[in-house]
Amino acid sequence: MSSIARAPRSDNRLPRLLDEAARLFRQKGYHAASIRDVAAAVGMLPGSLYYHFASKEDLLVAVYEEGVRQISDAVVVATAGQSDPWRRLEAGCVAHLEALLRLNDYAQVVIRVLPRDVPKARSRLTLLRDAYERLFTDLIAALPLPAGVDRRYLRLMLLGALNWSQNWYHEGKDTPKTIARRFLKLLQVSLRGEE
């Protein structure tokens, strides 16, 4: 008895479904990308999608989960190559930004679709974001900093500046790597005092 479950079929279209959902959520935003858009992109009927996901919100959460996984991996891999705390943070920021601005639909959805815009999934999305940000909490915790520096605000400022770049970045100008380094430089030097 029992073993009613069976392995997924080899022609499973779920991966492509997620890919197209990520692409469309990134391109149009959550509300503007419809179930019908996603289904058409995969080449299936709108209703068929509900075999894989119970609701549109659940589909978004699945994309989010994959996005957090991918961007986390990118940051972990990038920082693993460095030992100096500042260089580790730099590598993490560069990886974060490259995923965010260029190469990753899933990661871009994580930053572009704001939890408050999807009330029914808000708490789940926020949890996923927070889990990711903890990587940066750790990177910043390892920094040798002058006494009195609030590490929480350092994280909020740095990640806020990086994430907001989705709103002004245009391919072709400065690279993500350059941007991340410029931001970090602004924090490292003192802007006050010497003219």
54 or 191: CB nearest DNA: 54
25 or 53: CB nearest a second copy: 25
Q: Which helix (H) or strand (E) holds 66?
A: helix 56-80
* 55 contacts DNA (rule: CB under 7 A): yes
The binder of 191, among a second copy, DNA, none, by C-beta within 5 to 8 A per type, is: a second copy
The binder of 86, among a second copy, DNA, none, by C-beta within 5 to 8 A per type, is: a second copy
Residues from 74 through 133 that contact DNA (CB under 7 A)? none
C-alpha distances out from residue 14 to 7, 19, 45, 65, Å: 13, 9, 13, 15
**Cα separation, 169 vs 53, whole angstroms:** 33
Residues from 56 through 75 that contact DNA (CB under 7 A)? 56-57
C-alpha distances out from residue 178 to 15, 86, 111, 134, 155, Å: 33, 16, 20, 24, 19
Among 27, 41, 50, 177, binds DNA (CB under 7 A): 50
The binder of 29, among DNA, a second copy, none, by C-beta within 5 to 8 A per type, is: a second copy
Among 7, 147, 189, 191, binds DNA (CB under 7 A): 7
Helix (H, G, I), strand (E, B) or coil at 104: coil
Residues from 21 through 40 that contact a second copy (CB under 8 A)? 29, 31-32
CB 106 within 8 A of CB 188: no
